[in-house]
Amino acid sequence: MTYTLWIVITGCLVGLTCGVTGSLLVLRKMSMIADAISHTVLLGIVGAFFVTQSLNGVPMLIGAAIVGLLTAFFVETLHRSGVQSDAAIGVVFTSLFALGVVLIAFIGDQVHLDVQHALMGEIAFVPWNTLQIGGVSLGPVAVWMLGGVLFVNLLLIAIFYKEIKLSTFDPQYALLIGVPVVFIHYLLMIMVSLSTVASFDSVGAILVVAMLIVPGSTAYLLTDKFFTMLWMSGAIGILSALIGYGSAVYFNVSIAGSMASSTGILFILAFLFSPRHGLVFKRLRTT
């Protein structure tokens, strides 16, 4: 398969995985935690490298899941002991991220892992890092990782669909009728961490936040149904990837950057023209 096609597939998988997973964060009003986790997973990746001495996919995912959970746990603990939740997030993520940055220095030149790369990603390099089994190339590692994470996330959402929905809408009632609310919370944190790590190579820690939050926020303006919101976020993620890739080639700019910009443009369009929540129609209705 060609180089271009792999990039497009990777971009679409990032958009789909982050879009669906992130829409849950949007509904739970936890967008800031996406920002936090997207930075702290760096520590997970570095940690995984120290343990396994390689930048292999599965240990990286495990490392990220652990650090993602820790992030959520520390934030929760600080918040419970009286720190404002935005301050708690700020303290936890900068500390863990800083630790990651320091530890990267010890890895040095052994592998290609630097802060610049972690922050910005480079989707154009993705096709070169392929999964080799018995000398046969099976396509880019990123595609396998994203596909795997997408599968796991969709499976978890399918299994706990009702429980996720209720604990998002009315957590106290959920607790009352025996829904494992805390478990669902940390499950979602794992899903966000996995999505982030799988998207790291392609879009980096900063733009992955856009891919997580913006499609969900856009879908929120366009639908009044929970299920529709989930798939629509994924679809908007894919659409952003396609538009982003097209315009990146056309204008000769960063692919990841223009993917993230596309999510922003789609959001603004929805913000203005959404039939029910859009600014324009609201104006028309009130005048």
Q: Could you list the residues that contact other proteins (CB under 8 A)? A: 27, 29, 82, 159-163, 165-166, 168-170, 172-173, 175-179, 220, 223-226, 228-229
Q: Work out how close the CB of 166 gets to other proteins at its nearest, in angstroms, rounded to a whole number.
A: 5
Which CB sits closer to other proteins, 95 or 223? 223
Q: Work out how close the CB of 219 gets to other proteins at its nearest, in angstroms, rounded to a whole number.
A: 9
Q: Write phi, then psi, for 254 (nearest 5 degrees).
A: -60, 130
Which CB sits closer to other proteins, 112 or 276? 276
Distance CA 203, CA 6 (A): 14
Which CB sits closer to other proteins, 141 or 213? 213
Which CB sits closer to other proteins, 148 or 171? 171
Q: Are 198 and 152 in contact (CB under 8 A)?
A: no
Q: Work out how close the CB of 176 gets to other proteins at its nearest, in angstroms, rounded to a whole number.
A: 5
Q: Is 136 in a helix, a strand, or coil?
A: strand
Residues 6+ apart with CB under 8 A from 116: none
Which CB sits closer to other proteins, 108 or 178? 178
Q: Work out how close the CB of 78 gets to other proteins at its nearest, in angstroms, rounded to a whole number.
A: 14
Give me the amino acid identity at 60. Answer: M
Q: What is the DSSP string of 35-61?
A: HHHHHHHHHHHHHHHHHHSS--HHHHH
Q: Are 198 and 255 in contact (CB under 8 A)?
A: no
Q: Work out how close the CB of 144 gets to other proteins at its nearest, in angstroms, rounded to a whole number.
A: 28
Residues 6+ apart with CB under 8 A from 276: 224
Which CB sits closer to other proteins, 124 or 175? 175
Distance CA 216, CA 233 (A): 5
Which CB sits closer to other proteins, 23 or 71? 23
Q: Work out how close the CB of 241 gets to other proteins at its nearest, in angstroms, rounded to a whole number.
A: 24
Distance CA 139, CA 57 (A): 14
Distance CA 169, CA 53 (A): 43
Q: Work out how close the CB of 24 gets to other proteins at its nearest, in angstroms, rounded to a whole number.
A: 12
